[in-house]
Amino acid sequence: MIRALHFSVTADGGAALVPPVSFECPDDRMLLSGASGTGKTSVLEGMAGVSPHAVSGLLELPGAVVLGVQDALAAFSSYRRLRGQLLDARRFCTKVEWTANLESNLAALGLTVDVLALYPHQLSAGMLKRVLLAAVLAARAPLTLLDEPTAGLDPSVRWSAVELVRRQSSAYVIATHDPELLAAARIEHRLHLGAGGRRWFGLAAEFAAGGREEDSTPRAGPDREERTEQGG
């Protein structure tokens, strides 16, 4: 289960990057939506334990995590070939298993294993993003966190990427503002970060059916438990 209780991220100056939020995701498959600046990346970094800011509250995760960042180019050194860098980051499975997983994932995303012999600058931004996604999923981590994994991808491979995530990872959080991905989501839960600290959490299909974009009466939010205590 992915569970948060009063989870928040605060900048050094005291500004709330992510106001306290509480939710429970029983099936460990979650979409994180919201406009730019509402804190999606801050939530993922807090979950991954790599936030440069103060993180507080209770966070329960199904296990160790691997984080796929939004800027694939920044994830790689420009001075080393891709294969060596990816092997350095291998976790949770043997080298043989990871290599087989990686090659299978690359093929599913329309790439050949030959790209691993190249340097990052020799690939387009979209190709490099697919390599990073293939490598992150090859790790078979207990929980996979992905920041805008479909952004910048051609339509022909966007859905292949989404389906690969669903097949390869039993527990994941995808931060996205891709309207097509959000509109088609049905199996995941969804945490929407709205303006003014508003929150909505529930099944993605329910969110789409309700036509919600900025729900002012969230099902789960920053003061759910406080309201219960004050009312009782």
- Position 101 in a domain: yes
- Position 207 in a domain: no
- Position 199 in a domain: no
pLDDT tens-digit map of 104-141: 999 999 999 999 999 999 999 999 999 999 999 998 88
Whole-number percent of the chain with pLDDT over 90: 43
Domain count, the chain: 1
pLDDT tens-digit map of 65-111: 888 888 888 888 889 999 888 876 677 778 888 889 999 999 999 99
- What CATH code is carried by the domain that includes residue 226? 3.40.50.300
- Position 45 in a domain: yes
State yes or no: pLDDT of 193 exceeds 50. yes
65: nearest Cα among 83, 85, 92, 42: 92
d(Cα 81, Cα 121) in Å, to the nearest integer?
Answer: 10
Sequence-distant (≥ 6) Cβ neighbours of residue 210 within 8 angstroms: none
The tokens describing 153, both together, are: 């991808």
The tokens describing 110, both together, are: 């329309």
Half-sphere exposure of 89 (CA within 13 A, CB side): 23
- Position 131 in a domain: yes
- Position 168 in a domain: yes
- Position 201 in a domain: no
d(Cα 222, Cα 191) in Å, to the nearest integer?
Answer: 12
The tokens describing 224, both together, are: 């759910």
- Position 49 in a domain: yes
d(Cα 4, Cα 57) in Å, to the nearest integer?
Answer: 7
Confidence of residue 209 (pLDDT cuts 50, 70, 90): low
> Can you give the residue range of the structural domain that contains 112?
2-178+220-231
